[in-house]
Amino acid sequence: MFKRYGIFAVLSALAIALDQWTKALAYNILRVNGPVVLIDGVFELLYSENRGAAFGILQGRQTFFFLVAFAVVAVVLLFLAKLPAEKRYLPLFVCMVLLASGAVGNLIDRVSRGFVVDFFYFSLIDFPIFNVADCYVVTAAGLLILLTGFVYREDELSFLKKKERDE
């Protein structure tokens, strides 16, 4: 059990470090020098300060975001405690690393800056600006949907159900 949490901590720390490094680059370079067009009319790196949630909703609700981030991490840790230590469940483990890393990465921004640094922008479709931590969360959510819908059978996920007492 402790080995699993150790691996989880190391992988999460690396993912969070990557997220924070990219945000520092955006803050120090894009904020000062302006956007970098990677594919003209399609994709660019554009500095943005997000004081809300995804797509800019819930502006200025910092306490709410702190509580959500702590809840996500708590649920992930509880999930890891129940997750079987078999290779078959490695994709679920990776999803938990991504979910926690995304939540913590954006939480660090909210605590240290008062906003989340976003910088990926698909100008072709005017998609909301996002960051690496957001990519982690969306990827994890998508994978969880695919895994629970198409990969794992219901009985393989029975570890999530409360065990009934034999009386």
Residue-wise pLDDT tens digits, 63-104:
888 899 999 999 999 999 999 999 999 999 999 999 999 999
167: in domain: no
40: in domain: yes
Look over the chain and give the mean of its residue pLDDT values, rounded to a whole number.
Answer: 91
The pLDDT value given to residue 2: 78
Print the domain residue range for 9. 2-160
166: in domain: no
Report the percentage of the chain scoring pLDDT > 90: 78
165: in domain: no
Q: Which residues are catalytic?
A: 118, 134
The pLDDT value given to residue 163: 59
Confidence of residue 166 (pLDDT cuts 50, 70, 90): very low
56: in domain: yes
Q: What share of the chain is helix, strand, coil (3-state, %, to 5)?
A: 65, 10, 25
CA dihedral 103, 109, 112, 114 (to 10 degrees): -110
Q: In this structure, are residues 116 and 131 in contact, taking their beta carbons and an 8 Å threshold? A: yes
CA distance 133 to 125: 21
User: At residue 167, does pLDDT exceed 50?
Assistant: no
DSSP state of 162: P
Confidence of residue 27 (pLDDT cuts 50, 70, 90): very high
88: in domain: yes
User: At residue 131, does pLDDT exceed 70?
Assistant: yes
Q: What is the mean pLDDT of residues 29-53?
A: 94
125: in domain: yes
For CA atoms 99, 13, 25, 66, the dihedral sign is positive
Closest to 26 in 3D by CA, of 8, 44, 12:
44
What's the pTM? Answer: 0.89
Confidence of residue 160 (pLDDT cuts 50, 70, 90): confident
For CA atoms 96, 99, 102, 106, the dihedral sign is negative
**Total domains, the chain:** 1
